[in-house]
Amino acid sequence: MGNTFGHLFRITTWGESHGGGVGVVVDGCPPRLKLTEADIQPDLDRRRPGQSKIVTPRKESDTVQILSGTFEGQTLGTPISMWVKNEDQRSEAYNEMAVKFRPSHADYTYQAKFGIRAWPGGGRTSARETIGRVAAGAIAKKILRERFGVEVLAYVNQVQTICADIDPNNVKFAEVEANIVRCPDQTVAKKMIRLIEKMRGAGNTVGGIVTGVARGVPAGWGEPVFDRLEADLAKAMLSLPASKGFDIGSGFGGITMTGLEHNDAFRAKGGKVFTTTNRSGGIQGGISNGQTIYFRVPFKPVATVMHEQDTVNVDFKNTTLKGRGRHDPCVLPRAVPMVEAMTALVLVDHALRHQAQCG
């Protein structure tokens, strides 16, 4: 339960942090899509650990292998299975966690639910689970780009109190990838990197905000009431490790405006409808309106810190936990491809649902 996402384009991720590997099964991918590992690997490289001085030093190549669902470089329309081998497990570093619950991790809640947990590296709750999402998301992005003309990207907008002012309509992928923190504002990015390095040196962590963007989405994608497009996006983002919220368009800032100020006026030109502003974030009534979809996802500071903390053990006795293990001082740079993946998975699912219902 809880390991499958989507309707017509459906994924099921599997694997634990320190098991043999992690992966995903993708069902519902249209046939005859050109697809090889080379289409998947670039996004996994952006997600993998050890890629820069401001992420976890765990050394993993995260090399993907397609096991099924393709033939002669094309999708068959059958389930696509992909896997990545775990190469740098150090379970002994987690021995203390076998009998103690890490503060703000899922150790206690998984124990409470299942009565058992894979304590090395956090098991299923580890961010390594997102490898399957990012691999599947790469396929979804390819479908969106080649068959619907939709571009999906994300970027770091804020680290703690350091904030960049970025126009989601104009941000470019190359600008995002131009620095290790993945903030398109190169001046602000330097400040973010210095802060993250400071936190790492202090054995501490810091959080911030990732902005997700989808451009070229036509009007009409989404469903009424319970399957609203923004509701599915919200669920997708809140399913990511360390995410703590979802804010689309004007978001919480919209409450300071009046209705007259907030409304997006409609105009028409050349037989196409557009809005003069985009405070709705590209979605109205749960259905895309043809404008750029943009939203924000806050990520908490990583729970693993290099300091002793109060906790309890498996016998519910008060104790302390030493600060140890490999961790990201800030999850945001690696969260960018995760946000892109989940955005693409939601959009491609709704694109296929729209085709099935409306032609």
pTM: 0.95
- pLDDT at residue 91 above 60? no
> Is residue 326's pLDDT more than 70?
no
In this prediction, residue 19 carries a pLDDT of: 85
* pLDDT tens-digit series, residues 206-243: 999 999 999 999 999 999 999 999 999 999 999 999 99
H helix count then E strand count, the chain: 8, 18
Task: Kindly report, residue by residue over 101-134, the tens digit of the pLDDT.
Answer: 999 999 999 999 999 988 887 878 888 999 999 9
Mean of all residue pLDDT scores within the chain: 94
pLDDT bin (cut points 50, 70, 90) of residue 292 is very high
Q: What is the DSSP letter of 335?
A: H
Instruction: Please state, in angstroms and rounded to a whole number, the distance separating the CA atoms of residues 331 and 240.
Output: 11
Structure tokens at 194: 């210095």
What torsion do the CA atoms of 75, 71, 342, 62 make, to the nearest 10 degrees?
Answer: -170
Range in 45-54, 165-174, 208-217 with the lowest mean pLDDT:
45-54
Checking if the pLDDT of 76 tops 90, the result is yes
Other beta carbons less than 10 A from residue 30's beta carbon: 14
Task: Give the CATH architecture of domain 4-358.
Answer: 4-Layer Sandwich (3.60)
- Give the confidence band of 90 by pLDDT, cuts at 50, 70, 90: low
Residues 6+ apart with CB under 8 A from 5: 11, 12, 133, 236, 239, 345
